[in-house]
Chain A
Amino acid sequence: MLKMTHLSKVYRTEVVETYALRDFNIDVKEGEFVAVTGPSGSGKTTFLTIAGLLETFTGGEYHLDGIEVSQLDDNARSKIRNEKIGFIFQAFNLIPDLNVFDNVEVPLRYRGMKAAERKERIMNALDRVGLASRAKHYPAELSGGQQQRVAIARALAGTPRLLLADEPTGNLDTQMARGVLELLEEIHREGATIVMVTHDPELAARAQRNVHIIDGQVVDLAEDPRFHTAYTAAAGQIRG
């Protein structure tokens, strides 16, 4: 589903070259729920922006759903973002000028979908996240948890093949975070591929597989069961 091979991302200024990702390899299979963890500045977010085609990369290969994306032009990248990828951001990223219904509608409009189908999908998606009754509300009138649910509805309405989540619970309190996480798990059970970047060990522990990034490279600890156990225990202590 998502396969990066020897991928690198270099930020260049006049005086210095910084490798955000270096010889980066990852292979996410269809239907997997992968958590990407790592310290601040390790390259997690860079990985996610490249995976989501929000940014280009410097070297290597990236196959998304079988398509090699490095040669695609801006329009083709926009189309893939629109049709194959659903984004969930830490800051929710709703458009403050639009109400809930119109926010969920944004990606569907860019797809050129007919109004009737849009409406059906929007109401289904809002129903799914339990916010059908708030369709006419503006983001500022909703709690953080509700806003993130709207963002999830927006991602779901387009029935994406891949859901990319960047610290989806980072701005939420524990209770709201739990609700959002349960929603993600439910979506995963229904067959979606989810890649989630997170600091939250509890969240990471709920994923099927953990990928750990340090200094722009994947460190293959996550598949080591001992690490997994230790990580979960540590998480438990923190929570406890």
Chain B
Amino acid sequence: MAKVKSLEELMKIKEKSLKDLQMRDTEKKGKIVVAMGTCGIAAGAKDTLQAIVSELAENKIDDLSVVQSGCMGLCEVEPTVEVHMEGQSPIIYGHVTPEQAKRIVQQHILGGKVVSDLMVRKGEI
């Protein structure tokens, strides 16, 4: 192990460790909840989740937590994805296929614009 001799080197270790720790930090900028009830899984939520995770990784977004939840109660529009960015009311999208999931990441998360044609509901359930 390299010896630490300066503030910069210490900082490097800190940044690296912080990255590992980040998933433990609840104070993220937001979260994406993929409903993973039986209904969601049957409708393809598994692929949707995979698409979201890989799209986030591709765009190097690591300050969002991706969380699974149970059924949201909107079984007819599954797979559903809830995007909850800090300071904004949560948006629930329905019928989110892997392709649509990529659109959500691009347009909503990166671009800050709600994907209105997929939106099912705005605000807390």
A, B in one complex: no
Residues of B that sit less than 8 Å from A by CB: none
